[in-house]
Amino acid sequence: MTSATLRRPHGVTTRGTTGINRLRRSDRWLVHDPLVRRALNDSADPVVVDLGYGARPHTTFELADRLTAVRRDRRVVGLEIDPERVVESRLGVSFARGGFELSGLRPVLVRAFNVLRQYPEEAVGPAWARMQAGLAPGGLIVDGTCDELGRRCAWVLLDTQGPLSLTLAWDPFDVERPSDIAARLPKALIHRNVPGEPVHALLATADLAWATAAPHGSFGPRVRWRTALELLRAQGIPVQHQRHRRRDNILTVPWSLVAPRATN
Ligand SMILES: C[S@@+](CC[C@H](N)C(=O)[O-])C[C@H]1O[C@@H](n2cnc3c(N)ncnc32)[C@H](O)[C@@H]1O
């Protein structure tokens, strides 16, 4: 391997689509998630990387702002593989060129949203491995996808060993049923929403719970979703408990429940 190959950021340039406040649901979840909070709070040097922030760095500033609720001294770095998109550092946030190798940083948290979506499914494993290798001890990765306005989102949380959980999050007033999020599943799962795959079964079960909870709809879609979550728990689905009342409707399950079936 030549030194030029070693220096080249790992990955490919993709479309830079982004938008103001597009990643708010994931940001809100991050500041409340116990694993993310612990990783940030336990870190001696809480570096956070926003990988692939796109044509404008709005979401990086928003992430930096929201994470102050957990660690005021967090250091946020936006990395972009496209050198044309690297902007001047400002408002306490730095920007640099970098890819899945994380540009030599040792972050405690990496957020890569709408990045892997434009890669082939086979690229996910190597990209995850590359980012995992760059994490600080106890570090976490959020690999997610959402629609243009951030109303329908899904993300995988990973640590250095592997994926931990899948979260679906949506605008309670914009989604008819949980399976509407299927089109926004992260790359690792989007091709697996077919009969026989665990994620397909989860979405069907969530839809049924949502339909069963319909009588609670008169109290609003958030109350209806809380009832649906209770129904899922009653069926033995290990849905993560939410300590806080949420603006968003959220479903978080262990990765083991949705991990794709091995293909030969
Ligand atoms: C669709 S934009 C996403 C912007 C923002 N994260 C969002 O969700 O609104 C994807 C960006 O990821 C960048 N990108 C793709 N692969 C990358 C990689 N391996 N490392 C860093 N940036 C990458 C692309 O250049 C593009 O600007």
pLDDT tens, residue by residue, 137-187: 999 999 999 999 999 999 999 999 999 999 999 999 999 999 999 999 999
Protein residue whose Cα sits closest to atom 12 of ligand 1: 52
3-state secondary structure the chain: CCHHHHHCCCCCCCCCCCCCCCCHHHHHHHHHCHHHHHHHHHCCCCEEEEECCCCCCHHHHHHHHHHCCCCCCCEEEEEECCHHHCCCCECCEEEEECCCCHHHCCCCEEEEECCHHHCCHHHHHHHHHHHHHHCCCCCEEEEEEECCCCCEEEEEEECCCCEEEEEEEECCCCCCCHHHHHHHCCHHHHCCCCCCCHHHHHHHHHHHHHHHCHHHHHHCHHHHHHHHHHHHHHCCCCCCCCCCCCCCEEEEEEHHHHCCCCCC
Protein residue whose Cα sits closest to atom 7 of ligand 1: 18
CA of 13 to the centre of ligand 1 (A): 7
Which of 32-46, 106-120, 186-200, 230-244 comes out lowest in average pLDDT? 230-244
Mean pLDDT of the region 31-36:
96
CA of 227 to the centre of ligand 1 (A): 37
pLDDT confidence of residue 245:
75
CA of 19 to the centre of ligand 1 (A): 12
Protein residue whose Cα sits closest to atom 6 of ligand 1: 53
For residue 2, pLDDT beyond 90: no
Mean pLDDT of the region 48-62:
98
pLDDT confidence tier of residue 1, bands split at 50, 70 and 90: very low
Mutate to test the pocket of ligand 1, among 12, 14, 100 (most ligand atoms within 8 A of CB): 14
Protein residue whose Cα sits closest to atom 18 of ligand 1: 99
Protein residue whose Cα sits closest to atom 5 of ligand 1: 53
Mean pLDDT of the region 86-105:
97
pLDDT confidence tier of residue 264, bands split at 50, 70 and 90: low
pLDDT confidence of residue 221:
96
Mean pLDDT of the region 59-83:
98
Mean pLDDT of the region 39-51:
97
Closest ligand 1 atom to residue 19 Cα is 9
Mean pLDDT of the region 32-44:
97
Ligand 1 neighbours (beta carbon < 6 A): 10-18, 22-23, 51-54, 59, 79-82, 85, 99-100, 113-115
Closest ligand 1 atom to residue 17 Cα is 1
Mean pLDDT of the region 94-119:
98
Q: Please provide the average confidence, as pLDDT, over all residues in the chain.
A: 95
Protein residue whose Cα sits closest to atom 27 of ligand 1: 54
Quick one: CATH architecture of 3-172+239-254? 3-Layer(aba) Sandwich (3.40)
pLDDT confidence tier of residue 115, bands split at 50, 70 and 90: very high
pLDDT confidence tier of residue 262, bands split at 50, 70 and 90: confident
CA of 32 to the centre of ligand 1 (A): 25
